[in-house]
Structure formats: structure tokens, C-alpha cells
Amino acid sequence: MRQSQLFTKTRKEAPSDEVAKNAELLIRAGYIHKEMAGVYSYLPLGLRVLSNIENIIREEMNALGGQEIKMATLHPSEKWKQTGGWETVDVLFKLQSRTEKEYALGQSEEEIVTPIAQEYVASYKDLPVAVYQIGQKYRDELRAKSGILRGREFGMKDMYSFHESQQDFDRFYAIAKEAYLKVFTRAGLDAKVTEATGGSFSEKLSYEFMVLTDAGEDDIVYCPSCTHCANAEVTKVKEGGTCPKCGKGVLAKARAAEVGNVFDLGQKYPKAFGFTYKDKEGREQTPVVGCYGIGTTRLMGTIVEVFSDEKGIVWPKSVAPFGVHLISISGASGEDVKKEADALYTSLRQKGIEVLYDDRDLRPGEKFADSDLLGIPTRVVVSEKTLKENKFEVKDRKTGSISMLSLPDFLLRLPLIS
RNA sequence: CGGGAUGUAGUAUAACGGUAGUAUCUACGAUUCGGGUUCGUAGGGUCCGAGUUCAAAUCUCGGCAUCCCGACCA
């Protein structure tokens, strides 16, 4: 992508109606556009990041045996009335058409996925099965806040699994948790598996995946020596106490953002819809259901909160919109520089590297400032200086380390870079 | 939903009740070219609606919007 053709531009100043770091940086850099409180549009760069996040999730859910689907987000009110959610889920967006028919906007999809599963699952032979989707969710939050961390419309991956028994559910639940940790690790984050309440729809404990950041909304109590971690709302052992799991660590308290969660839904939804299957003996049985969510847009915001500095964003390589930011410093009489940069742009793309090429006719300082703000992991500069040495200047956005590399050396390093 | 605050060019900010100014931006012309060069010319604004007043960006009321704290939060 040539930056001169890019739809968006950067801004020097953050908008006055944003306080959250994630929103300030993402808007300044042109990744997102605020539509209204809690609702954002994703622009070319932002969509690239979001797609990278979604693809990581997609790969891990597929590895788990999940099958991707795309469910309706405009829901008939009847199904929500059938489960009671129409009255009890206060964040549910309800709307009425001109014909007075009522609808809900999807804030979660149990009401939709359960009847679909019911249609295709008739026998124990059809179980277990897991389906997931990645898409928009709508929640009528009384107070949207923290940029893209808590919106009224947001991106979410939600998966639902159906099982013959509680034991089979428990088996899958455990491997799903592991898959979740893989997702967050691949996205560059260190997420803690956290015990929490099941919310309004499960009496059992659920597990939340928490990333330490002051921008989060939850307080967690965790052990520095082992993996024990609990939401402050449920834990009986407080900060400063001894870890109940390993018996050694002194529990610490921290602010965290919930980037994912998994729930044991039991049989509530199949029961609401009369969903049964036949077991080996031909008896009617009710399946056990689990649901598993990851907030994709919140994950993106959390990454920005965790990985940024005073100059801008510092994307982890796995989610960055581009692998390489190529900058030409051609000056007034830099036709040779331009030619060389064009050539490098072409050869990098031929190697399958995603490159943002700043071919604009701007002063170097402005290009560098933009580059730091955008946060692409590797910056490559072509200038009269580098031309003389017959090398390229390669800078790592995260460490700031600069090295002069010949083209073969650079290409050799590329697998590590992107 | 309770409380608090704020709404001025695309963006960010000034203006005692009395000429809406500055920076950035955009366009054009010069100048400069390794960390947001410098100069010139031009463009563009008081959230909406009432009220008070000779006069309202400024005061009052209503609406709408945005942010913050809390409550809430699948």
C-alpha cells in the first residue's frame, strides 16, 4: 500500500472528547472513526489489525474443532421471550418496526444458535459439536466508555458447544481454555485465567481472561508465583494473603481488562427450546452447552493500551496492519532514492511481505513522526545516505535499535521481522 | 439511571455582555529536505430552540450531544 493513496491521514492532536489512550492513539493514527458514544467505524488500517486478530482466533477455534458460521444479528423477539431474556437482559437493544413487530439486536446468540443446533442435532452421534462466529454485537450500555474497550456496538467472537454429558463438556471446557490462552499469547498479550461469577445466566463459576492494564474495569487478585487468579468480586482470599493454590505466593491486586470469558451454561437453553437428542438406548436427553466469548475490538484496544509509548502505538508483529513501513527520504533531487525505494517496495511485496510505503513528498521529520504513531513493527528507510552505502536502514519500533543491512541480509531477516 | 463538567472553522484552542482571534488543516506560489522547515495569498466557525438586553460565543431556560465519577454490565 502506497501511503500517498491511503484513505486516512494522521493527526497531530487527539480529539478533545476522548480520554482513553486507545481511542486517542487509534483516532490520531487514522485506525478508527468515532460515530457516537460507544460506536466506532474501522478504517483501512484498523480493519487490517482487526482482521489479523480475527484470523488468529479463527485458526485457534478451527484447531479446536469449531465450525465457523454467521448468525443473524437482527433477532425475532419471540426467541428472547421464550428464554426470558426479553425481560431480564437489561442491555438488550429492543426495536419495533413500523408494522409494530418487535425485534432484538444480538448481544449474544444463545437464543439463535440453540434452535439451529436443535435442527441438526438429533442423536448422540451428532455430539459433541461446536460452532462459532465473529461479528458485531449490540449492548445498550448505560455508559459507554474507555474508547473501544466498552462500546454499544463492538466486535466479538462467540462460540457455543453442545455435549452429551457434563463430563464431555468439562473435557472440552479445559481444552477451550488452553486455546484461549494461545489466542492471547499469539496476540502478544499475557492473559490470566481468572475465576469469576457466572453472571446472570450461570450459577457456576466462569472463567475470565484478564490482561493487566490500568485501563481495565476489573480488579483481580493473583499469585505472582503460580497461575492462581480470581476476580476481586468473588475471591475470599484478599491481597497480601497467601496463595490458596501454591501456598507460597503473596497475592497481589491489579486492574485488568476482560478480553475473553468462558461459561458453563448447563442445560438452560436446550430446556427453554425443548432441545433433546436420542442417546444409545434411544432415550431423550438434554445436551449440555458451553459458550466462549472473545471481544475482538476490545482486544485491539487492550493491545494499544498495553503496547504504546509517548510517540504512538507499538503493535505486536502478529496483529500489525503491515509488517514493514518503508520510508523514502528523497529530498528535492532524489530520483535515485525514489527508484531504489520503488524497487524495494516491489521486491518486498513479491516476497509476500505486507508493506506500507510512505512515498509522500514530505519532510523526513513528519514521516518519522507518522511512522512512530502508526506503530508498524519494522521501519525501513531509503535515502541518499543509505544509497551511498548500498544498504537500508532498518529500525525496530519496539526496541528502537537501528541497523544498516544490505538487501540480501535484510531479506534473510525478514522471516523474523514479519 | 444518579451526580459533575463541557459544547466556538475539518482538528485543537482564545475572546470583560460590545470588531469572533491564533495554531493546525486545505488550496495555490515560493523555500527547505534525516525527527512535524520557513514565508506569502486564499478558504472555513459560535450545537439546536426560546428568553433577557440597545447589544449574547458569553447571562437564563429547554432540548440535543460528548466526557468524567458512581450505579449497572452475558
User: Could you give the angle at the alpha carbon of A78 between the alpha carbons of A77 and A80, nearest 5°?
Assistant: 65
Q: What pLDDT was estimated at residue A201?
A: 62
Nearest nucleic acid nucleotide to A9, CA to C1' distance = B25
**Backbone CA torsion sign across A181, A185, A186, A189:** positive
A249 touches strand B (CB under 7 A): no
Concatenating the DSSP letter of every residue in A143-187 gives S-BTGGGB-SEEEEEEEEEEESSHHHHHHHHHHHHHHHHHHHHHT
Q: Which residue is nearest to nucleotide B36 (CA to C1')?
A: A366
pTM of the model: 0.97
Q: For the residues A397-417, what does the mean pLDDT come to?
A: 88
> Residue A381 CA to nucleotide B43 C1', Å?
36
More confident residue, A63 or A332: A63
pLDDT at residue A203 tops 80: no
Best CATH choice for the domain A9-309 from the list 3.40.50.10540, 3.30.930.10, 3.90.220.20, 3.30.70.100: 3.30.930.10
Q: What pLDDT was estimated at residue A334?
A: 80
> Residue A256 CA to nucleotide B25 C1', Å?
38
Best CATH choice for the domain A324-417 from the list 3.40.50.800, 2.30.40.10, 3.40.50.970, 3.30.70.1350: 3.40.50.800
Q: What pLDDT was estimated at residue A231?
A: 94
Taking the stretch 9-68 of protein chain A, residues with Cβ within 7 Å of any atom in nucleic acid chain B are: 9-20, 36-38
Q: For the residues A48-70, what does the mean pLDDT come to?
A: 98
Nearest nucleic acid nucleotide to A364, CA to C1' distance = B34
Q: What number of CA atoms fall less than 13 Å from residue A187's CA on the CB side? A: 36
pLDDT at residue A205 tops 90: no
> Residue A385 CA to nucleotide B31 C1', Å?
23
Taking the stretch 296-315 of protein chain A, residues with Cβ within 7 Å of any atom in nucleic acid chain B are: 311
Query: Quick one: what percent of chain A has pLDDT higher than 70?
Result: 97
> Residue A33 CA to nucleotide B46 C1', Å?
25
Nearest nucleic acid nucleotide to A23, CA to C1' distance = B67
Beta strands in A11-57 (DSSP E): 32-36, 39-42
> Residue A19 CA to nucleotide B67 C1', Å?
8
Nearest nucleic acid nucleotide to A11, CA to C1' distance = B11
Q: For the residues A41-70, what does the mean pLDDT come to?
A: 98
For residues A321 and A356, the answer to whether their CB atoms sit within 8 Å is yes
Q: Where are the alpha helices (DSSP H) in A257-392?
A: 268-273, 296-306, 335-350, 364-374, 384-389
pLDDT at residue A279 tops 60: yes
Taking the stretch 374-413 of protein chain A, residues with Cβ within 7 Å of any atom in nucleic acid chain B are: 381, 383-386, 393, 395, 402
Q: For the residues A189-215, what does the mean pLDDT come to?
A: 88
> Mean of the per-residue pLDDT values for chain A?
95
Q: Which residue is nearest to nucleotide B25 (CA to C1')?
A: A11
pLDDT at residue A390 tops 90: yes
Q: What pLDDT was estimated at residue A200?
A: 63
pLDDT at residue A329 tops 90: yes
Among A38, A24, A29, A23, residue whose Cα is nearest residue A11: A29
Q: What pLDDT was estimated at residue A330?
A: 86
pLDDT at residue A418 tops 90: no
Pairing of strands A129-138, A93-96: unpaired
Nearest nucleic acid nucleotide to A368, CA to C1' distance = B35
d(CA A88, CA A94): 12
Q: What pLDDT was estimated at residue A199?
A: 67
Task: Please state the domain extents for chain A.
Answer: 9-309, 324-417
Say which range, A138-152, A190-204, A220-234, A367-381, has the weakest mean pLDDT. A190-204
Q: What pLDDT was estimated at residue A333?
A: 67
CATH topology identical between A9-309 and A324-417: no
Nearest nucleic acid nucleotide to A293, CA to C1' distance = B74
Nearest nucleic acid nucleotide to A111, CA to C1' distance = B74
Q: What pLDDT was estimated at residue A309?
A: 96
pLDDT at residue A247 tops 80: yes
DSSP A2: B
Q: Which nucleotides of B are covered by protein (CB under 7 A)?
A: 1-2, 8, 10-13, 24, 26, 32-37, 65-74
Amino acid at A150: R
Q: What pLDDT was estimated at residue A202?
A: 65
Query: Quick one: what percent of chain A has pLDDT higher than 90?
Result: 93
> Residue A370 CA to nucleotide B38 C1', Å?
21
Taking the stretch 112-151 of protein chain A, residues with Cβ within 7 Å of any atom in nucleic acid chain B are: 139, 141-146, 150
Confidence of residue A198 (pLDDT cuts 50, 70, 90): confident
**Residue range A28-39, pLDDT digits in tens:** 999 999 999 999
Q: Which residue is nearest to nucleotide B1 (CA to C1')?
A: A142
Confidence of residue A416 (pLDDT cuts 50, 70, 90): low
Among A369, A414, A376, A418, residue whose Cα is nearest residue A397: A376
